[in-house]
Amino acid sequence: MAAFVSGQFRTQDRYAPLPELLQPAGPIPLSLALLIEQLLNGLQLGVMLFLIAAGLTLIFGVMGLINLAHGSLYMVGAFACASVAATTGSFWLGLVTSLAAAAAAGALMEVAVIRRLYARDHLDQVLATFALILVFSEGTRWLFGSFPLYLDIPPVLQGAVALPGGGQYPLYRLAIIAVGVLVAAGLYLLIGRTRLGMRIRAGETDREMIAALGVDIRALYTLVFALGAALAGLAGALVGALQSVQVGMGEPALILAFVVIVIGGIGSIKGALVGAVLVGLVDTMGRFLLPKLLALALPATQAGPVGAAIASMLIYILMALILAFRPSGLFSARS
């Protein structure tokens, strides 16, 4: 009856009363392929969060500083990558630029503002770094405008690979997981096996003593800050190709990163890794499974929205539970 003929296909209105509305035919069957895909999605989200949280926890562990502007460095990375990729046509050049730009922005931030905050209490740090968020957001808006930028994944990483069980998984997301594993291994080696890592660990334990031993603590702090910033920038560039590169993209990511480091134990890289993967898996599997579980007990019209609402709280419930049993997180660096 509603044939679409030459650009006109209906003129008459009809409204179905709400109870007659369609319901999904039935829950989507849980297959092995879907389960594997969702586990990979959770892992990938976790790895992404780790890249942001690693810098945040490193900076807190070494300098005792709460840096709310960490999300801004993530945004700087994404914008640097998007604008360089748009002008040169190369994602890889953009990726390198994003590391450099975020590290430079981080170093500048440390020298100009953060350095004055180490001796002050956390409230001052939070206030000052919150101000930095506003400065970075408005600065970025001023430079790039209010509309989202375009950034696509590089051609080599386009497409999907087959999974056991008949599923498919995007190559780019697998690459993100690989980058995350490499960064985790690299940080482990850097902190555990190098002279710089030894100084970082010493700085965490006793900053007066290491300064007294003749280590240039100011340069060390700037370096650690730039390293953390570069990791955030890398995450921003990688995520920028998946999402929309826009002003304000850093703050939601920052909130999740804080959840991760609170769960993992503030200051612990290992804790950040475990916490990030945990949060990634719980969030993804919650979104995936909760509406299905609720559909067993609730009518289908309610199961969807209620499931979605609870799924969005799940990681905070996880954080509250972990804090109740281990108040300093899973792997606290300071206990």
Partner 1 sequence: MRKILAAGAAALVLAAGAAQAEPVKIGVITTLSGGGAGLGIDMRDAFQLAIKQSGNSEIELVVEDDAQKPELAVQIAEKMIQSDKVDLMTGIIWSNLAMAVIPNTVAQDVIYLSPNAGPSALAGANCHPNYFNVAYQNDNFHEAMGEYDNKDYKKTFILAPNYPAGKDALTGFKRYYKGELAGEIYTQVGQTDYAAEIAEIRASGADSVYFFLPGGMGIAFMKQYAQSGVDIPVTGPGFSFSQDVLPAIGDAALGVKNSATWAKDLDNAANKAFVEAFSKEYNRLPSIYAAQSWDTANLILAALGKASVKDRQAFRAALKEADFASVRGKFKFNKNNHPIQDIYVREVVKDGDVLTNRIIGTAFTDHGDAYADQCAM
Task: Give residues in contact with partner 1 (CB under 8 A).
Answer: 2-4, 7-11, 13, 15-16, 18, 21-25, 28-29, 31, 33-34, 37-38, 41-42, 44-45, 137, 141, 146-150, 152-153, 158-160, 167-168, 170, 172-173, 239, 241-249, 251-252, 284, 287-288, 291, 300, 304-305, 307-309, 311-312
Nearer to partner 1, 115 or 141 (CB): 141
Helix (H) or strand (E) segment spanning residue 320: helix 300-325
CA 291 – CA 282 distance, rounded (Å): 14
Give which of 207, 201, 245 is closest to 85, Cα–Cα: 245
Q: In which region does residue 140 sit, left (phi positive, over 0), alpha (psi from -120 to 50) or beta (all else)?
A: alpha
CA 58 – CA 12 distance, rounded (Å): 64
Minimum distance from CB of 95 to partner 1 (Å)? Answer: 17
Nearer to partner 1, 231 or 303 (CB): 303
Q: Answer whether 4's CB lies under 8 Å from 10's CB.
A: no
Minimum distance from CB of 69 to partner 1 (Å)? Answer: 16
CA 256-71-121 angle, to 5 degrees, is: 90
Minimum distance from CB of 305 to partner 1 (Å)? Answer: 5
Nearer to partner 1, 58 or 95 (CB): 95
CA 179 to chain CA centroid, nearest Å = 14
Q: What's the maximum distance between 2 C-alpha atoms anywhere in the chain?
A: 86
Minimum distance from CB of 216 to partner 1 (Å)? Answer: 40
Minimum distance from CB of 17 to partner 1 (Å)? Answer: 9
Nearer to partner 1, 141 or 334 (CB): 141
Minimum distance from CB of 193 to partner 1 (Å)? Answer: 34
Q: Answer whether 263's CB lies under 8 Å from 277's CB.
A: no
Minimum distance from CB of 332 to partner 1 (Å)? Answer: 29
Nearer to partner 1, 31 or 87 (CB): 31
- Token pair, residue 291, equals 């509406």
Nearer to partner 1, 223 or 247 (CB): 247
Residue type, 105: A
Nearer to partner 1, 80 or 191 (CB): 80
Quote the crossing angle between the two packed helices 217-240 and 32-63, to the nearest 10°. Answer: 160
